[in-house]
Amino acid sequence: MSSENTASSQIQPANQGIANIAPYQTGKPIDELKRELGLDNIVKLASNENPLGCSPLATQAVRDELADVGRYPDGSGFKLKEKIVEVFDVEMSQITLGNGSNDILELVARTFVSSEDTVVYSQHAFAVYALATQAVGATGIEVPAKDFGHDLAAMAQAVRDDTRVVFLANPNNPTGTWFSETDFTAFMNTVPSRVLVVLDEAYVEYFPEYFNSLKFLEKYPNLLISRTFSKAYGLASLRVGFALASSEITDLINRVRQPFNVNSFALAAATAALGDQDFLHQTRTLNHAGMSQLEAGCAALGLSWIPSRANFLSICVSTDVERQGTKVFNDLLKLGVIVRPIAGYGMPDYIRVSIGTFTENKRFLEALSQVLQATE
Ligand SMILES: *Cc1c(COP(=O)(O)O)cnc(C)c1O
């Protein structure tokens, strides 16, 4: 024991910024709660997963890959990129594949940001922006939100000479807030073109009619669009996402990327998923119905929520200090319902609930009603 201590005390201090990182809090796994409670019927609405699972074509594609597990995956991801070219009308040279879009966000930071630089993102924005910034020892500039959403004008003003990257989430997680093409255009026209703007569109498939980001790629060579297969495509476990940007930016990121960062199951499943627009349509339809169901349920309980254009809703559950989001989260857990407390995002009065099936949403609303009555 004592020799271990000596050994660890000799380890060099971690890189600048690492010691200050608070690890990302993931949603509580279903199996963990099952073990803790001895409950069988758990509803998990904590990680914005697709309640329909994924396209059957993707499942079949994964099965078909099983014979080849002894081989490395295609490091260039040719077939998936070919499909992305077809669906999104971009060039091969504009695509970076990532081990989830989380990988994309980190690759951007490692490629473009050093410890002398600053990175701009919004208050209540997706936690990985701050994590990726801190991991490279850079300084994050968190711009106060406006009505929980990104204040794009203030964010443009916050850009300094040493700012290399701005992270934007549209819609944002955990708030569900979004911004318009008009506000985005004004933002892009204000931010210097040497600053890389990362537009994280993890939820864009749910309400695609509000924002067409692809057309901005040609106009703004400093724009990078980040997409994921984890949410609407239902492939969260496989870890695959992609970035679209100029071929210059893409080439630079590619130098940092691990050669085999996306495994063969993920590549095959994502390619198949892009070919199943019916599944995406079903996903959207279920999400819209579930959104209405949750909104009506919250209204009936006298609760307010932040209007969302994603697959989750952040609900204000607090009326006083006694009943904060974390307490409601814990009380819901005891009833077998997993949601997400978001105090860590500076929103202690809120819980974030992912939109599930009709039955899951109903179960959540009933449990919430029970929990709120008990604390009234
Ligand atoms: C879920 C999420 C991601 C990352 O998802 P991956 O599974 O890593 O692709 C990125 N950005 C936002 C805003 C998210 O909510």
Instruction: Parse the chain into domains and list their residue ranges.
Output: 22-52+278-374, 56-275
Cβ–Cβ < 8 Å for 105, 261: no
d(CA 248, CA 342): 37
d(CA 83, CA 206): 20
d(CA 140, CA 197): 14
Rounded to the nearest angstrom, the distance between the alpha carbon of 38 and the centre of ligand 1 is: 31
Q: What pLDDT is attached to residue 1? A: 42
Burial 61-89 (b: 16+ CB within 10 A, else e): bbeebeeeeeeebbeebeebbebbeeebe
Which candidate, 298, 287, 353, places its Cα nearest to that of 325?
353
Predicted structure pTM score:
0.94
d(CA 69, CA 263): 10
User: Which pLDDT tens digits describe the chain residue by residue (376 residues)?
Assistant: 444 455 555 677 788 788 878 777 787 888 888 888 888 889 999 999 999 999 999 999 999 999 999 999 999 999 999 999 999 999 999 999 999 999 999 999 999 999 999 999 999 999 999 999 999 999 999 999 999 999 999 999 999 999 999 999 999 999 999 999 999 999 999 999 999 999 999 999 999 988 999 999 999 999 999 999 999 999 999 999 999 999 999 999 999 999 999 999 999 999 999 999 999 999 999 999 999 999 999 999 999 999 999 999 999 998 665 668 999 999 999 999 999 999 999 999 999 999 999 999 999 999 999 999 887 6
Ligand 1 pocket test: which of 121, 128, 179 has the largest number of ligand atoms within 8 Å of its C-beta?
Answer: 128
The maximal CA–CA distance of the chain, rounded, in angstroms, is 62
Q: Whose CA is nearest to atom 15 of ligand 1?
A: 173
CATH numeric code, 22-52+278-374: 3.90.1150.10
Ligand 1 pocket test: which of 230, 262, 263, 312 has the largest number of ligand atoms within 8 Å of its C-beta?
Answer: 230
The tokens describing 307, both together, are 């209007």
d(CA 81, CA 101): 15
Dihedral sign, Cα of residue 240, residue 244, residue 246, residue 247: positive
d(CA 214, CA 9): 50
CATH numeric code, 56-275: 3.40.640.10
Q: What pLDDT is attached to residue 216? A: 97
